[in-house]
Chain A
Amino acid sequence: MKKAFLHFLTFSLLLFHIPVSAALRVFACEPEWGALAAELGGPAVNVYTATTGLQDPHLVEARPSLIAQMRRTDLVVCTGGDLEQGWLPLLFQQAGNSRVQPGGPGYFEAAAFVTLLEVPSRLDRAEGDIHAMGNPHLHLDPRNIALVAAGLAKRLAQIDSVNAVHYQARHDDFSRRWTQAMRRWEQQGAPLKGLAIVTQHKSWSYLNNWLGLRDIATLEPKPGVPPSSAYLSQVLAQLRQRPAKMIIRAAYQDVRPSRWLSERANIPAVELPYTVGGSDQARDLFGLFDDTLARLLKAAQ
């Protein structure tokens, strides 16, 4: 009893260990990495998230406010795998911040810790705006979050070595809670296994891979090309042959194509948060998966 109490005390003191020196400034490209940095850094980090859960991560502009944030940051945490190629290189060139240039310790890419799915065997623009390095929407498999968290905790400890113990303690705690949550989600998600779905963009491949959902049609005729009515009719005809259970769309995506198809194919169109901040419930990474599963299960009934 005494021992357990001691452990608890040690642990909580470590957890609320007041970080030394000023907070480390973290620039997160996407909300999922902002949320992860906040989990692992706690009071030791000051996180700025460059995009919101209601924003298309493929179409981000190198706005002046982002340059100003990049100028002051100590660590940049992004997805990588070319997801940010339209804007991040510009921030590196314009912000004049030598601490965070790619290749150095101040630049962290999640994709470096995960095996990317759907690496194209053929690169041809006629196939649309494909992700040449593989599918970068990797955060929707919680096992990937765990891998990235381990890497990020190490990196935080590396560049802010005075607080190394603090990051390790927070990572231990996060990883314990995450493993528990994953077990819960996997149990909850068991009935979804093998379910046929329609998606708007290939943003869900990792979620599908994890839960065993089958993505049988995509509303974008080609990656990055907006759905046209002619193509939607084709998908509709296809669904009459091989029905799907639901249509999935990210909160940031145009609602019209999935609504159109939902009305005609008579299956629910489900808006999923896609990332932290994509719904009221998805306030952090735990909320993101809780809400995603709740919405999928509700639509599958």
Chain B
Amino acid sequence: MIKKQFAAIGMVAVLSQSVIAEEAVKQEMADEMRRPWQTQRPIVTSSAFNPAVSLILYGTYSRFTKNYHEEIHGFAPAADAHGATREGLSLQGSELVVSSNIDDKFYGLIIVRLEDDKTKVEEAFFQTLALPQGLTLKGGRFLSGIGYLNEQHPHFWDFVDIALPYRAMLGGNYGDDGVQLRWVAPAPLFVEAGAEVLRGENFPAGGAAKRGAGARSVFVNLGDDVGASHSWRAGVARLEADAQGRVFEDDAHNQYSFTGKAPLNIANFVWKWAPLRNPAVTNFKFQAEYFQRDENGKYTFGAPAQEVNYGPRQSGWYAQAVYQFMPRWRVGARYDELKGGTPPMELADTLLDAEGHKPRRASMMVDFSNSAFSRLRVQFSHNQTAPKDANEVYLQYIMSLGAHGAHKF
């Protein structure tokens, strides 16, 4: 009985006290709502949210044996490919990166590549931060979200050059002017889906078909952790590119023009290991991607001009592993391979004819990073992209000045 009474009194007390407390908190909140979140101090103390400027310097010294051949037999080269490297001492181009949150709803980034005779806007886009439901919209010029390596700029590559499937089928990193919509699922597993519409000017598209909407892509990526030390990401993507008069020239200045469709499918996989997620002493990364495309159209070439149907089935893949065996030192190995398919008779003995040869390459690299901002690398490649083997040796430096570059997984 007494207990019951106590309980009743207690409840009343609780109710009245909590009402009073609630009022006080509400008043305080109302005060705060009128003012900024913190009155005396800034809410965000990180400088990363101010314009981050960084300048990336890279250069190589390369030595090739005499059979070195830049073109890959069986594949039409991109007009403006950077992926292959010049022999001798050479600046690979410098990059200026400026990025920042524009306001509370937008983020912006520009990457300009500076070369002797030109500057090229590699990327220049805005991206939303405030769309609901896990959506992000990107607009401007950007590297497509297809594949794993595609969004990575050269200073983040683990090897001096990009893997062969990228060089042969995308002309290096594939980017163009366009819009991208991405969605991240509200799930404990990372599930991301995206779609892009792009201008269609750049290889493997060409001529900005469909009134400047000549390329479209979709991609889905999944990822998660396994245990306390492993994590992975896997994805599939499809790029549909319309080529309208996409031209390449061979050594003898003969021009070949392709008009048709260049659909490309990509599957990619990345696995990373760092003991208890501490990459400082040792860490390991494995990645592999598979490309498959069915170009389907017509090649126009020769004088007088002749036209032939072209539709080989082509594929390629690479796998690479990079291991940091002690602080600052990494060693890596990569194998890449392409399957060219057979062109029609009329195109026999041209660059489009692999002549039964399977382009492939094996590379080894060692690099040293004095800090997060400087890296020196040695790479050796045994190259069989042309019918005759060649060896390549590279020395490379990558230096970044300025802001801390945050890198995607």
Chain A residues engaging chain B, CB cutoff 8 angstroms: 2, 5-6, 9-10, 13-14, 17, 51-52, 54-56, 59-65, 67-69, 71-72, 80-82, 84-90, 92-98, 101-105, 107, 109, 111-113, 116, 125, 128-129, 132-133, 151, 154-155, 157-158, 161, 164-165, 168-169, 224-226, 252, 254
Whether, in the assembled complex, B348 has its beta carbon less than 8 Å from a beta carbon of chain A, the answer is no
Contact check: which of B21, B29, B46, B134 meets A85 at CB < 8 Å? B46
Contacts of A82 in B (CB 8 A): 45-48
Nearest-CB distance from B84 to chain A (Å)? 30
Give which listed residue, A62, A68, A101, A254, contacts B191 with CB less than 8 A: A68
Q: Does residue B223 face the partner (Cβ distance < 8 Å to A)? A: yes
The answer to whether A112 and B136 have CB atoms under 8 Å apart is no
Knowing A125-B373, A154-B32, the reply to whether A103 touches B14 (Cβ < 8 A) is no
Complex contact B48–A85 (CB within 8 A): yes
Contacts A10-B13, A93-B107, A104-B104 hold; do A59 and B190 have CB atoms under 8 A apart?
A: no
Shortest Cβ distance from A5 into B: residue: B6
Q: For the complex, is B119 an interface residue (Cβ under 8 Å from A)? A: no
Q: Are A93 and B223 in contact (CB under 8 A)?
A: no
Is B29 within 8 A of A158, CB to CB? yes
B373: chain A residues within 8 A (beta carbon): 125
Given contact pairs A71-B134, A84-B46, A157-B29, a sample of 6 additional A-B residue pairs in the complex whose CB atoms are under 8 Å apart: A62-B409, A71-B186, A80-B45, A96-B135, A125-B373, A132-B47
Cβ of B187 and Cβ of A133 under 8 Å apart?
Answer: no
Contacts of A107 in B (CB 8 A): 43-44
Report whether B49 and A89 are in contact in the complex, using a CB–CB cutoff of 8 Å: yes
Query: Which residues of chain B come closer than 8 Å to A132, judged between CB atoms?
Result: 47
- Partner of B190 from the list A64, A103, A112, A168 (CB cut-off 8 Å) is A64
Contact A13 B10 (CB under 8 A): yes
A65 contact set on B, CB distance < 8 A? 190, 223-225, 231
Are B17 and A10 in touch, CB under 8 angstroms? yes
Tell me if B130 is interfacial: C-beta within 8 Å of chain A.
yes
How far is it, in angstroms, between the C-alpha of A71 and the C-alpha of B42 when the chains are bound? 25
Once the chains bind, are A6 and B278 in contact (CB under 8 Å)?
no
Which of B45, B104, B133, B372 is within 8 Å of A81, CB to CB? B45
Which residue of the partner chain, among A5, A10, A54, A59, contacts B279 with CB atoms under 8 Å? A59
Nearest neighbor of B187 in chain A, beta-carbon distance: A68
CB distance from B34 to the nearest CB of A (A): 13
Tell me if B21 and A109 are in contact (CB < 8 A).
Answer: no
CB neighbours (8 Å) of B135 from chain A are 96
Q: Which of B177-185, B241-249, B257-265 contacts A (4 or more CB under 8 A)?
A: B177-185
Q: Is A59's CB under 8 angstroms from B280's CB? A: yes
The 8 A CB mask of B156-191 against A (1 = contact, 0 = none) is 000000000000000000000000001111111111
Q: List the A side residues contacting B233 at CB < 8 Å.
A: 64
CA distance A225 to B37 in the complex (A): 37
Contact present for A10 and B10 (CB under 8 Å): yes
Q: Bin chain B's interface residue count.
A: 35 or more
Q: Is residue B228 contacting chain A, with contact meaning CB distance below 8 A?
A: yes
B132 within 8 A of A: yes
- Given A71-B186, A85-B404, A109-B43: A54 in contact with B13 (beta carbons within 8 A): no
Closest residue to A256 on the B side, CB-wise? B281
Inter-chain CA distance A63–B28, complex, in Å, is 38
Q: Which of B106-149 contact A (CB under 8 A)?
A: 107, 127, 129-136
Partner of A226, one of B11, B131, B186, B280: B280
Chain B residues with CB under 8 Å of chain A are 6-7, 9-11, 13-14, 17-18, 21-22, 25-26, 28-29, 32, 37-38, 41-49, 101, 104, 107, 127, 129-136, 182-192, 221-225, 228, 231-233, 272, 274, 276-281, 327-328, 371-373, 404, 406-409
Across-interface contacts of B279 in A (CB, < 8 A): 59, 61
From the candidates A90, A133, A168, name the one contacting B47 in the complex (CB within 8 A): A133
Question: Are A54 and B278 in touch, CB under 8 angstroms?
Answer: yes
Q: Can you identify 11 A-B contacts, CB atoms within 8 angstroms?
A: A64-B231, A64-B232, A68-B189, A68-B224, A86-B404, A90-B408, A93-B107, A95-B184, A96-B182, A107-B44, A254-B281
Residues of chain B contacted by A80 (CB below 8 angstroms)? 44-46
Q: Which of A9, A62, A107 has the most CB of B within 10 A?
A: A9
Q: Which residue of B lies closest to A93 (CB)?
A: B107
Which of B18, B45, B104, B182 has a CB less than 8 Å from the CB of A165?
Answer: B18
A45 CA / B133 CA spacing, docked (Å)? 21
Most chain B C-beta atoms within 10 Å of own C-beta, residue among A107, A128, A165: A165
Beta-carbon contact of B130 and A98 below 8 Å = yes
Decide yes or no: A92 and B223 within 8 Å by CB, A103-B44, A132-B47 being known contacts: no
Report B-chain residues with C-beta under 8 Å of the C-beta of A155: 37
Chain B residues in 8 Å Cβ range of A81: 45-46
Q: From B6, B14, B185, B371, give the contact of A225 (CB < 8 A).
A: B371
Q: Are B280 and A56 in contact (CB under 8 A)?
A: yes
Candidates A61, A112, A168; contact of B43 at CB < 8 Å: A112
Which chain A residues border B32 with CB–CB below 8 Å? Answer: 154, 158
List of 10 A-B pairs having minimum Cβ-Cβ separation, nearest first:
A64-B223, A64-B190, A85-B48, A98-B130, A68-B190, A9-B10, A96-B134, A164-B25, A80-B45, A111-B45
Give chain A nearest CB distance to B65 CB in angstroms: 38
The interface centre, meaning the residue of B9, B48, B127 with most chain A CB atoms within 10 A of its CB, is B48
Residues of A with C-beta under 8 A to B48: 82, 85, 88-89
Chain B residues within an 8 Å CB radius of A51? 277
